Structure 1
């Protein structure tokens, strides 16, 4: 019997946490990604099944609402389910619990990607409609389109390295958040917890493709854009 709602429990280790003991935002994204992968494997459309058809899931949009970031050595449970599916796209939701209390809600939008043609296409594997839960929301506000700012205050250069790539041979989605937050003063990041994070992934990045990381901080939010030449490949807005 297929499980509509899937969960994994994790005990946070020191490699996953910042110097203040809180879970890194990129490691939060990684735990979500791992839980989604395990659920997809259990449902029959995980990495191995999709790779056989030259397909992969790629993340397009995500919204994260954080009431509290868990700490080093705390045990958390990540729950996930498919809220929507239509051929070549899917909305997958997550909730993170500490001691049975929800502390983080996440909604994410994924596309089916042909790894040879490098474009979106319909999923080759059939999905049981019984596992789709359209009524089960996880965030107070829906996924949104992040708008680019007219001006940014600072700019930093970066060239993707081997350690940034994943098994699909492009920059893994968790890396972009690290690049952006690494461009800020460490003390600021450690002392200003993010309440919400909205991200749009617009273009894939490959090894050695130079990018510019643009940032702007105002009274209520952080704004980031990553550009490859004239193309914007990533946008992030984080509420503080």
Structure 2
């Protein structure tokens, strides 16, 4: 397990002085990158070997959102590798070691020269020293789409949405989706399925569906093909 300690900053919280799913994903993403850097298979290694890890799916379960000023510990560990898929858990604990949030994530190892999935090298998998998966109820990787949506106005991808891969960062899609969450919809779980990468200048059309316990935002291209599907559940 790899962990780092932090204190929730004012710049990270919402109007209710709590982190949201976007901020939590940023903590998780930073933790996974720190982990990879410290074991020698980080950003420079991946660039040198023409590889990149792309997010395929998130499942985040919240017991309590961390609040402004709170001391937290963010942890991550890999629990499995299969061909070109990597599986990683995350956790946020408070100062009393109470689990505030836990997550499952699925990543795809990509060959950046040929723009296709690549088999995970034995040395890369071995560097992570896999551990037991966190005991939680694991949701399917794929999210089923309902038949009916209402469309919101389209918008274009901006430079601020991009990461070092020149794609929209996986957390940015979550921030986009949060703009459409109804007031008072206090989700305890968020799932996201990433189907393709959006690039600078691409037009994104938000498609929205809500039922009694679920709020879904599908961020689609102009042909209504999803970039990312985000599902919030009470």
On whether the aligned pair clears a TM of 0.5, the verdict is yes
Note the 1:160-171 alignment, pairs <5 A.
Answer: 160-171=157-168
**Is the counterpart of residue 233 in structure 1 residue 227 in structure 2?**
yes
**Is the counterpart of residue 86 in structure 1 residue 86 in structure 2?**
no
CA distance change for structure 1 residues 58 and 46 in 2, over 3 Å: closer, same or farther? same
Equivalent in the alignment of 1:219: 212
What TM-score does the superposition give when structure 2 sets the normalisation length? Answer: 0.93
SS in 2 for 1:44: coil
Q: Between Structure 1 and Structure 2, how many residues are aligned? A: 231
Q: Aligned-pair distance for 1:116? A: 3.2
Equivalent in the alignment of 1:101: 98
Equivalent in the alignment of 1:65: 61
**Is the counterpart of residue 40 in structure 1 residue 36 in structure 2?**
yes
Q: What's the RMSD between the two structures over aligned residues?
A: 1.7
Note the 1:185-204 alignment, pairs <5 A.
Answer: 188=183, 191-204=184-197
Distance, in Å, in 2 between the alignment partners of 1:201 and 1:138 is 24
Gaps of 5+ in 2: none
**Is the counterpart of residue 29 in structure 1 residue 22 in structure 2?**
no
What TM-score does the superposition give when structure 1 sets the normalisation length? Answer: 0.90
Q: Is the 8 A contact 1:155 1:215 kept in 2?
A: yes
Distance, in Å, in 2 between the alignment partners of 1:95 and 1:184 is 24
Aligned partner of 2:114 among 110, 117, 131: 117
Q: Deviation digits for residues 102-132 of structure 1, max 9, x if unmatched?
A: 1111000001122332221123571327811
Distance, in Å, in 1 between the alignment partners of 2:4 and 2:80 is 21
Equivalent in the alignment of 2:15: 19
SS in 1 for 2:216: strand
Q: Deviation digits for residues 132-166 of structure 1, max 9, x if unmatched?
A: 12x33253334431011211134231110000000
Q: Is the 8 A contact 1:226 1:234 kept in 2?
A: yes
